[in-house]
Structure 1
Amino acid sequence: MAGELLEEGDRAFAGEKARQRDVEELAHRLAVLGSDPPGMLKGLRLFLEGVPDRSWASGRAAYADSPVAWCFGGHGGQWAGMGSDLVDSIPAGAETLARIDSLFRAESGFGLVQMLREARERPVDDLAVVQPLIFAVQVAIARTLLTHGLRPDLVVGYSMGEIAAAHVAGALTLSDAVRVMYHRSRLLAATPAGGRMLVARGDTATTERACAESAGAVSIAALSSPGESVLTGDADALRRLVERWEPEGLRCRWVRIDAASHSPAVEGVLDELRGCLRDVRPRAPRLRWVSTVDPDPAVAPWADPCYWARNLREPVRFAPVVAALLDEGVRMFVEIGPHPVLRVPLQGNIRAAGTDHAKVVVTGRRGMGERSALLRAVAELYCHGVTGADRRVLLDLRAGPGAT
């Protein structure tokens, strides 16, 4: 009798292991992207050969219970041709851009959609234009995802990216968000010449010491991750730091901006910014919005009438925000924008936290149309089991007007 029970137990155990194995296999997903059968076969072949490629995505569907954070980056992701698919062939994106265009034209006298079309042939360098263009693309991408049923649990913005984040969260109407974006970028462009910004990757203590020794010429603009800071200030002073640091192994990269945002250089425009935004009426957000100006969860950034002046002047505290979110259990970060500017800082924060299974998915890539980039992003989210990212969304995005 005992032997029969043991045998039955062994069979039950083996059956359960087999069932678990079947479930485990179903939990592993593959998405192959292509415009025709040969293209899809090529993607499948690359997957089987283990060759990384944008034509396929795979993963384990283990993130259904993880909160999803949408992250909106700052300056630097712009490229010639960004937004073309959103304007021409993605209905939700085109509708959103048309609304932004009308609102921006009422504020500034010129439209953004025409600027996006002109920027297909050459990059736009005018700070007062390029930042609103980035904002418009961010909001259009977010609206496209929301229209197809994807939804974040919380939003985070980095510098100017906080404006799009606040709008998506519901703290700013689209009209107010456009007003904030227009006046913030216009006044930043009017700050004194000679300012630059610099990404420094290395020992944070070294960069902080250099700022303290600079007599105010250089300051911290952003704490991006434990190993990456953004410095802001006088261009010549920053250039001397690069000449000193690079032989020592501290890597530096110039930000594509001719202004010293988040520095004393912007203080001369803050009163005007506050005045221009006096009629902006922030609201309690529908989604959680985590501020990178004041990460204290007890503080309601939407209730501060001077918040957007602080957003321009104070440092971006991105690293402590991401660290806190990882502590909360957030494991899925989706960067909303034309090209990744937060992926490296996010990955740096994930490594510093010792969390090896958090994921970063990007929704835009330089030189890649938004339809293809969004298909790739949704494919990754589907493979990771994120709620709302399913085959229906992939088919809807694939079948839109102008798809090939």
Structure 2
Amino acid sequence: MTNSLVPPAGPQRVLALAQLSNSVGDGAYYVTSALYFTHVVGLAPARVGLGLTLAWAVGSLVGVPLGRLADRRGARGTAVLLALATGLAVASFLTVRDFVPFLVAACAYASAQSGLAAARQALLAGLVPAGERTGLLAHLQSTLNAGLAVGAGLGGLALHAGTQAAYLGVFALDAVSFVVCAVLLVRLPSVAPVVREGRRDLGVLRDRPYALLTLLNTVLLLRMPLLSLGLPLWIAGRTDAPAWLVSALFVLNTGAVMLFQVRMARGVTGITSATRAVRRSGWVMLAACAVFALSAGASPWVAAGALVAGAVLQVVAEMGQSAGSWQLSFDLAPADRVGEYQGFFGTGVTVARTLGPLVLTSLLLGWGTAGWLLLGGATLVASYAMGPAIRRTHASRPDVRLRVPVN
């Protein structure tokens, strides 16, 4: 690989360009949507929060059937249709002026996004050899962060303008970005649908070992709202560190993932190395939580130093956990149900985003140092509990044992 930041030419690069396209639009959407819905649409903040929570709950439920649809009807065609559906859902936000239409549009947006994520994973599995998937996912994560950063900058310009036209332009940009994503996905080779004989059952929902693996991974993902919610509230309420550090820590995390995620993923090549990566990330996350806790009651610059050191440890843990979980989610899924299983595994992200704010605010603001240590301890326990869950899942998969031996 000649450039660690650019995937090889061919399907891998096209997938990265598609990721870049819609992440630019999403970055602009994320930084402006709350003010758009409250200031332009006129909804109360509590109703916006309720609507988005309900929407992502619906999205987590439909991710599995949409992933199954990608397996059975073809991953490329399903991904293209869901990318267009996402763009249409974003465009519909431009016309809503009341809570019920907003809720309907938000549910459509979350459902299409969840299904698109599962379909793209199935498409990736069909086009990229097993040994190259984790490396490509690392590239896609770097691309995602780069696109979000660019989009956030564009959204910042709209916030600075503060006009309705500027907000509408951001939403139009996000809608167009998903159309561009769909056009890029059309350029990929098609992936033949999987034909399965026999009765239809609950599929992944009956697969207890994989369900346990997904649950434990969800615990590890509770750190997701840390930079956007947990640390800002901690810095403001429990430390004397300068407020601008919130932005600096976000930039540090985003830049580190852009530059080092691919390198961090290179050592993850199979089930055993993925298990080790997840366990190491548990220890590093525990250390990060302990260092974050040291910032309470310290002088401003000592607190700032502890927060920066903790953020460095946290992003190292994040990159290791991400690489390990990507490898495991693919390697332990049946070859004929990748979309369905990826749709289910991806619900962990939605659950973490939904429950994470409540968990983090309760632990960190309510319990202080003890809360940080409990968060780190829970992460370490979950990372080690994944070992037996992985072995049990691997043992129950004759096709996986032949397809992906433990390295």
Q: How high is the TM-score relative to the length of structure 1?
A: 0.23
Higher-Rg structure is 1
Higher percent of residues as helix: 2
